[in-house]
Structure 1
Amino acid sequence: MATIRDVARLAGVSVATVSRVINKTDSVNPETAAQVLKAIEQLQYEPNAVARGLAGKKMGIIALILPDILNPFFPALARGVEDVAQKKGLTVILGNSDDLGLKESTYIKDLKKKYVDGFIFASNTIREEDVESLRKEGIPIVLLDRGLNTASCPVIRSNNRAGAKLAVQHLIERGCQKIAHIYGPQEFITARDRLLGYEEVVGELEGYSPSLMVSGKFDIESGRQGVEHLLKRHPQVDGIFAGNDLMAIGALKALRERGILVPEQVKVCGFDGISLTEITEPELTTVAQPIYEMGGLAARILLNEIEGGVRENTIIELDVTLIPRKSTQ
């Protein structure tokens, strides 16, 4: 592989001149610069990224830390980040945090050594001190979806409370009178907001009881178990709003196992808009988040700060859309 010295020798200039042309730090005579660029092309020389990082240049790498890429919600989010980053010539490093604050802190420590230009976290467990530490070091950070509310960096999520209200109102419009809710882990701000949205609507209904709410873990099995608990308490339930699509899929499975017809006897609505909702039987009604767009927006905000120092310390809530399908018809 060619070295910077090889380029300098072929172009008939000093190593320092080649470095200035590559890093665009000082003005170089156009004719000399052209000689250097021609030598670089001829030798197929690639500047050492680490050396450029040590010189204070951008590395062209951002880190995306997700709770679990196996959750179908997060691949679409990651794709949105990657597509925007790729158009700008940046590489995305992906990590799974498993919602463990210590693991996230380790990622931050290790990736800073690799001169990562910025971080995007979809996490409810990232520590405020880690956010502040990155800010003090001038490393941009954006929080996505489950991210804590903070004034020190941008936070992007959907309007979860409004989306939950859309779901419950839809079930009411479809004739449901006893609507239950399988809610997600309450340490997640997204799950809390969806629970609040549910309560805001059903609290006004005759026959509402807090026992119509059961906890879940944002996975299929907890949705299935949630239906078991609900039917023991309230056999007359005719509508279920699940806090995410995976739990709604689990609810469909449990109802089917018991010979309960969906939507004839019980109508089911999920939340997220993941692609699996189109292949369930029946197809699942869902409140769809703009998942891909959310990831893309996070990348654009991060890149604006990396490239131009523009910091947007704000909480952005994107609109959601109800997609009615056969599970509520």
Structure 2
Amino acid sequence: MTTIRDVAKLANVSVATVSRVINDNGYVNENTKQKVKDVVRKLNYRPNDVARSLFKGKSKMIALFVPDIKNPFFPELARAVEDISNKHGYTFILCNTDNDPNKEMAYLHALLQKSIDGIILVSNTMSTNQIKDMNVPVIALDRKISSEIISVTVNNKEGARQAVQYLRKQGCKRIAHISGPENVSSAKGRLEGYLEEVKNEKWFASDFICTGNYTVDKAFQSTKELLQRDAEIDGIFVANDLMGVGVLKAVESLNIKVPDELSIIGFDGIELGEITTPSLTTMAQPIYHIGKRAAELLIQRIGQPGNAIKSEEHKVKLIVRESTIERGGNNE
């Protein structure tokens, strides 16, 4: 394999001169520069990325941390981050953490050793102090970490309120909630929105809320227990679409007809919700757009570290599908 020393020897210059030409760093006269470039082409020399990152202090790499790659929401986010990273000449790295703080820290230590330029975090375990200690630009995506960390999120609380209001308009009288993990900011916001709409209803009790932990299996089990306990529930707001699949499976196992007897609305707007039976009504996030904005803000932070950047909160949108219907029998 050709090395930088081979290039320097054939061009009759020092290794330092070759390095300056390759990295476009420091003065080299035009004749020497052209001679080095000709030798690089002749030998088909490819600079070692690690060596270049050590020399320049930058790797042209951006990493995205996601907690569960099996949730279709996160590959859709990742596609946007990858597209913007590549557009700006950055290599994209995807790290699946499985909601495991030890795995998260192992990834971080490995990436920092490679002079990673910036990180986009979807995390509910990383603290503000840990992020500050990294000493690299960080953008929080989907979930807020703290007011000190720039974030790109959606209006989870208001979106949840709109979901419950929509179920009411369809004629639902007793609306339950399958919630996400207690320590995840997006789940907290959706729970708060639900509570603001129903907490003063005469029928409401705390057991109308069951955790689904953002997984299909847990949502399936929680929904079965919920509906076996209270057969009068006629509407369910589910904190994400992946859990919505579990809810639909549970309802089918109990021979409850959707949407004639029970209306279901999810949150996220992933493509999976379009192919369920029935298809899932949802409060859709602009998934690609928020991934795109997180990447753009991170690249801006990398290139202009002194510039002030504000957090962003984007709106969700109601998408009506087959899992909700007016009790009179007319589709919305």
Give the TM-score normalised by the residue count of structure 1: 0.92
Shift of 1:206: 4.7
One of 228, 233, 236 as aligned partner of 1:232: 228
Instruction: Please say if residues 68 and 96 of structure 2, whose CA atoms lie closer than 8 Å, have aligned partners that are also in contact.
Output: yes
Q: 2:147 aligns to what?
A: 150
Residue 55 of structure 1 aligns to a residue whose secondary structure is helix
Distance, in Å, in 2 between the alignment partners of 1:177 and 1:119 is: 45
Q: 1:120 aligns to what?
A: 120
Shift of 1:36: 2.0
Instruction: Please say if residues 154 and 312 of structure 1, whose CA atoms lie closer than 8 Å, have aligned partners that are also in contact.
Output: no
Shift of 1:128: 2.5
> How big is each residue's C-alpha offset from its partner over 1:122-167, in whole Å with a ceiling of 9 and x where there is no partner?
10001332111013xxx1111111341231x311211111111121
Residue 164 of structure 1 aligns to a residue whose secondary structure is helix
Number of aligned residues = 325
1:279 aligns with 2:275: yes
Q: 1:86 aligns to what?
A: 86
Q: 2:218 aligns to what?
A: 222
Residue 326 of structure 1 aligns to a residue whose secondary structure is coil
98-107 vs 244-253, greater mean Cα deviation: 98-107
Distance, in Å, in 1 between the alignment partners of 2:291 and 2:261 is: 38
Distance, in Å, in 1 between the alignment partners of 2:133 and 2:153 is: 23
> How big is each residue's C-alpha offset from its partner over 1:40-86, in whole Å with a ceiling of 9 and x where there is no partner?
22222112222222223321112222112111111111111111111
Residue 268 of structure 1 aligns to a residue whose secondary structure is strand
Residue 181 of structure 1 aligns to a residue whose secondary structure is strand
Distance, in Å, in 1 between the alignment partners of 2:285 and 2:50 is: 38
Instruction: Please say if residues 161 and 194 of structure 1, whose CA atoms lie closer than 8 Å, have aligned partners that are also in contact.
Output: yes
Q: 1:15 aligns to what?
A: 15
Instruction: Please say if residues 73 and 270 of structure 2, whose CA atoms lie closer than 8 Å, have aligned partners that are also in contact.
Output: yes
Gap runs ≥5 in structure 2: 326-332
Q: 1:201 aligns to what?
A: 197
Identity %: 45
Q: 1:325 aligns to what?
A: 321
Q: 2:73 aligns to what?
A: 73
Shift of 1:15: 2.6
Shift of 1:314: 3.8
Distance, in Å, in 1 between the alignment partners of 2:230 and 2:308 is: 47
Residue 271 of structure 1 aligns to a residue whose secondary structure is strand
Shift of 1:277: 0.4
Q: 2:51 aligns to what?
A: 51
Distance, in Å, in 1 between the alignment partners of 2:76 and 2:269 is: 10
Give the TM-score normalised by the residue count of structure 2: 0.92
Shift of 1:106: 2.1
Instruction: Please say if residues 177 and 237 of structure 2, whose CA atoms lie closer than 8 Å, have aligned partners that are also in contact.
Output: yes
74-83 vs 296-305, greater mean Cα deviation: 296-305
Instruction: Please say if residues 128 and 146 of structure 2, whose CA atoms lie closer than 8 Å, have aligned partners that are also in contact.
Output: no
Q: Aligned partner of 2:111: which letter?
A: L
Shift of 1:255: 1.3
Distance, in Å, in 1 between the alignment partners of 2:170 and 2:306 is: 47
Instruction: Please say if residues 297 and 309 of structure 2, whose CA atoms lie closer than 8 Å, have aligned partners that are also in contact.
Output: no
Shift of 1:204: 4.6
Distance, in Å, in 2 between the alignment partners of 1:65 and 1:304 is: 19
Instruction: Please say if residues 149 and 315 of structure 1, whose CA atoms lie closer than 8 Å, have aligned partners that are also in contact.
Output: no
Q: 2:159 aligns to what?
A: 163
> How big is each residue's C-alpha offset from its partner over 1:211-233, in whole Å with a ceiling of 9 and x where there is no partner?
32122211112222222222233
Distance, in Å, in 2 between the alignment partners of 1:46 and 1:250 is: 50
Instruction: Please say if residues 158 and 289 of structure 1, whose CA atoms lie closer than 8 Å, have aligned partners that are also in contact.
Output: yes
Instruction: Please say if residues 301 and 312 of structure 1, whose CA atoms lie closer than 8 Å, have aligned partners that are also in contact.
Output: no
Instruction: Please say if residues 4 and 15 of structure 1, whose CA atoms lie closer than 8 Å, have aligned partners that are also in contact.
Output: yes
Instruction: Please say if residues 121 and 142 of structure 1, whose CA atoms lie closer than 8 Å, have aligned partners that are also in contact.
Output: yes
Instruction: Please say if residues 184 and 218 of structure 1, whose CA atoms lie closer than 8 Å, have aligned partners that are also in contact.
Output: yes
Shift of 1:180: 0.8
Shift of 1:256: 1.3
Instruction: Please say if residues 112 and 134 of structure 2, whose CA atoms lie closer than 8 Å, have aligned partners that are also in contact.
Output: no
Q: 2:129 aligns to what?
A: 129
Correspondence 1:292-307 to 2 at 5 A = 292-307=288-303
Shift of 1:200: 1.2
Q: Aligned partner of 1:160: which letter?
A: N
Instruction: Please say if residues 267 and 327 of structure 1, whose CA atoms lie closer than 8 Å, have aligned partners that are also in contact.
Output: yes
Distance, in Å, in 2 between the alignment partners of 1:314 and 1:204 is: 36
Distance, in Å, in 1 between the alignment partners of 2:161 and 2:177 is: 12
Residue 253 of structure 1 aligns to a residue whose secondary structure is helix
> How big is each residue's C-alpha offset from its partner over 1:158-201, in whole Å with a ceiling of 9 and x where there is no partner?
11111111211111111111111111111111111000111112
Distance, in Å, in 1 between the alignment partners of 2:127 and 2:102 is: 9
Instruction: Please say if residues 143 and 156 of structure 1, whose CA atoms lie closer than 8 Å, have aligned partners that are also in contact.
Output: yes
